[in-house]
């Protein structure tokens, strides 16, 4: 790599992208612009809220660009003539003029071992599918979703107690470090890009509301993966007395029970309830959120009325 400082445009939006941006900012590269999504209304009060990447960019006093439609508003990026564009969970497709503008191309930090789990929710699906490992891929961006040539990859183990939140944070940190290891080699021409095997491609589209509901006829390991694969967002749910009941946390129980899928078969010292799954083993539920109420432990819920949850009740009907 020459001694000339390379100009980088960074494009990202959620928390996942923040450690990657912060690593770039403290590196030898010149981050000339940060592109992120517009502020969006959030919460019950629909308060206009900036994306996490915007907050990080403003904290570092980096110029910011928030186009509503990048396909129509991209000239500001191209005019900067960046050497490289780095993206991480930006949330919009890059038009051809942007893809073609940097001397060293556009690269993306993606939270899976491509070609597996292309799409917007690779961390969720890695856990939902019960995978034992996942990782980070840095690849060239092309017009087809997450299909560009691979520049580098690294693998991490998914622990049995990992959920989306913990795995998200691990992967964001790993992604930042892998990017810093990859960029000097890319600029020096020391990387031979590797084409993805299209026959091995799988997909991880954004989670739909219909996917959040627990199917108690599944075995208890699958249900456990469902709960942790949606924790802490968007959160799995079941129904109770005709109302949605969010299941914030629960773990697989090894004991064998008789009963119907979805049936509460035991109350453990008023701290947890065991809900039966299709393999006659249960989920030990410890944190819930009844409709219209805050998140709470099962113990807190039962404090008001010990009969709110009791043996024989069926969830999910």
Task: Report pLDDT for 44.
Answer: 79
Cα end-to-end span (Å), the chain: 63
What is the pLDDT, as a whole number, of residue 155? 98
> Residues with Cβ < 8 Å from 13, sequence gap 6 or more?
36, 37, 51, 52, 53, 89, 90, 91
pLDDT band at 304 (very low <50, low <70, confident <90, very high): confident
Q: What is the pTM of this model?
A: 0.95
Residue 120 has a pLDDT of 95
User: 3-state DSSP call for residue 273?
Assistant: strand
Question: What pLDDT, in 10s, does the model give residues 20-68?
Answer: 999 999 999 999 999 999 999 988 788 999 999 999 999 999 999 999 9
In the predicted structure, residue 257 carries a pLDDT above the cut 70 = yes
| pLDDT given at position 183 | 98
| Coil vs helix vs strand at 127 | helix
Q: Which helix (H) or strand (E) holds 173?
A: helix 164-187
Q: What is the pLDDT of residue 240?
A: 93
Specify whether the CB–CB gap between 29 and 183 falls below 8 A: yes
pLDDT at 43: 82
Question: pLDDT tens for residues 102-138?
Answer: 999 999 999 999 999 999 999 999 999 999 999 999 9
Mean per-residue pLDDT, 271-300: 97
- CA–CA distance from 66 to each of 14, 25, 40, 46, 50 (Å)? 13, 19, 11, 19, 10
270: pLDDT strictly greater than 90:
no
The yes-or-no verdict on residue 1 having pLDDT over 50 is no
Encode pLDDT of 61-109 as tens digits: 999 999 999 999 999 999 999 999 999 999 999 999 999 999 999 999 9
Asked if pLDDT for residue 2 goes beyond 80, the answer is: no
SS3 of 85-106: EEEECCCCCCCHHHHCCCCCCE
Q: In the predicted model, what is the mean pLDDT of residues 287-307?
A: 93
Residue 269 pLDDT more than 90?
no
What would the mean pLDDT of 235-257 be, rounded to a whole number?
96
DSSP-derived secondary structure for 32-52:
EEEE-PPPEEETTTTEEE--H
**Percent with pLDDT over 70 in the chain:** 99
CB 83 within 8 A of CB 104: yes
Domain annotation for the chain: domains and CATH numbers = 7-200 (3.40.50.170), 210-304 (3.10.25.10)
- Count the neighbouring beta carbons within 10 Å of the beta carbon of residue 84: 19
The tokens for 295 are 């998140």
Q: Share the mean pLDDT of the chain.
A: 96
pLDDT above 80: residue 255: yes
């Amino acid at each position: 790599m020459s001694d000339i400082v390379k100009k980088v445009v960074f494009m990202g939006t959620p928390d996942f992208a923040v450690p990657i941006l912060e690593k770039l900012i403290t590196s030898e590269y010149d981050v000339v612009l940060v592109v992120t999504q517009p502020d969006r209304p959030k919460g019950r009060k629909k308060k206009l809220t900036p994306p996490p990447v915007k907050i990080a960019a403003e904290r570092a006093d980096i110029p910011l660009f928030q186009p509503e439609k990048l396909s129509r508003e991209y000239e500001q990026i191209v005019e900067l003539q960046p050497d490289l564009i780095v993206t991480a969970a930006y949330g919009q497709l890059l038009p051809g003029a942007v893809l073609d503008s940097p001397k060293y191309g556009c690269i993306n930090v993606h939270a899976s071992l491509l070609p597996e789990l292309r799409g917007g929710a690779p961390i969720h699906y890695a856990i939902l599918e019960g995978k034992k490992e996942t990782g980070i891929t840095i690849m060239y961006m092309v017009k087809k979703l997450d299909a560009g040539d691979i520049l580098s990859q690294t693998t991490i183990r998914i622990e049995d107690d990992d959920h989306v939140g913990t795995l998200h944070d691990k992967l964001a940190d790993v992604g930042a470090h892998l990017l810093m290891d990859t960029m000097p080699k890319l600029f020096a021409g020391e990387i031979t890009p590797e084409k993805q095997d299209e026959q091995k491609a799988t997909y991880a589209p954004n989670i739909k509301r219909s996917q959040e509901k627990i199917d108690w006829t599944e075995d208890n390991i699958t249900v456990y993966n469902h709960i942790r694969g949606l924790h802490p967002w968007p959160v799995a749910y079941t129904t109770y007395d005709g109302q949605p009941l969010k299941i914030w946390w629960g773990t697989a129980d090894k004991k064998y029970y008789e009963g119907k899928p979805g049936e509460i078969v035991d109350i453990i010292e008023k701290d947890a309830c065991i809900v039966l799954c299709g393999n006659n083993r249960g989920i030990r539920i410890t944190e819930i959120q009844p409709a219209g109420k805050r998140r709470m432990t099962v113990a807190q819920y039962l404090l008001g009325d010990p009969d709110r949850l009791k043996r024989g009740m069926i969830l999910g009907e």
